[in-house]
Amino acid sequence: MVDTKSKHRKRPIGVFDSGVGGLSILKELRKTLPNEDFIFLADQKYVPYGEKTKEELIQLVSNITDYFIKRYNVKMVIVACNTATCNAIEALRSKYSLPIVGTVPAVKLAAKKTKSGTVAIISTPSTSKSIVLNKLIDEHCKDVRVLNIGCKNLENAVETGDLSGTQVSILLKKYLKEVINSDTDYLVLGCTHYPFLRGAIQKIVGSHVKLLDGGKAIARRSKSVLENNFIKNNQNKLGKTTYLTTGNATIFSKVTTLLLKTPIRAKKVKLK
């Protein structure tokens, strides 16, 4: 007799982002869930997501979820993108029955930790204007001043693997000027691309400003969802990760190798 529950547990988890940013979430997932198999997809044909409309985002993430289910029979989907989560996760959850975990800026944690009473959030233009983020701010920051800063083109710089060049420096100085001129003590990295810029950001804002991102929290949440649905993989061996992109596989492999500090070979796929 085939153990269907055991087979279900062994199915992979789909993780996606518009590009390489979601790798910052994948890193934490692999630490917290070392026995799981992951399919990571970078939708680079349409990067950056931060400049897409809500309707466009819903269509894009639906295409990815359809692909994950049909091609890989995934047991769960993790939206490793703040922009896609803020604009499209409710549409995804209403359309699909499998567990879907999203990524939202760590606003609640920043509001809880601040001593100065001022926190800042940097994210894509789409996330900064989203109903979800502004609702989080309204709910958790009643007595806290919030600098909500949308950063155009910063996501693109990380896509090229440029983490400390002139272009990144110019953009960061521009967007962090308001943070430097305030008494901000916690800065939320509200895009999964931004943790790869930690060093450059910290250098500009100074050591007195603490940086927060949601990677570890998303990994813990994912583990909890797997356990609650009795689909956590209990195999004794380490899981494997498959890397896919809808863009240029050679460039993606090169940048991913740089960001993860391990050799990566990705494959190009067509979703539709």
pLDDT, tens only, 185-241: 999 999 999 999 999 999 999 999 999 999 999 999 999 999 999 999 988 899 999
Dist CA 61 CA 43 (whole Å): 9
For residue 8, the model assigns a pLDDT of 84
What predicted TM-score, i.e. pTM, was given to this entire model? 0.92
- 86 given a catalytic annotation: no
The answer to whether the CB of 13 falls within 8 A of the CB of 37 is yes
Marked catalytic residue, from 81, 86, 141, 151:
81
Instruction: Give 137's Cβ-side CA count (13 Å radius).
Output: 21
Dist CA 232 CA 9 (whole Å): 6
Domains and CATH numbers, the chain: 4-103+216-268 (3.40.50.1860), 107-213 (3.40.50.1860)
- 81 given a catalytic annotation: yes
Tell which phi-psi region holds residue 98, choosing left (phi > 0), alpha (psi between -120 and 50) or beta. Answer: beta
Query: pLDDT-derived band of residue 2, with 50, 70 and 90 as boundaries?
Result: very low
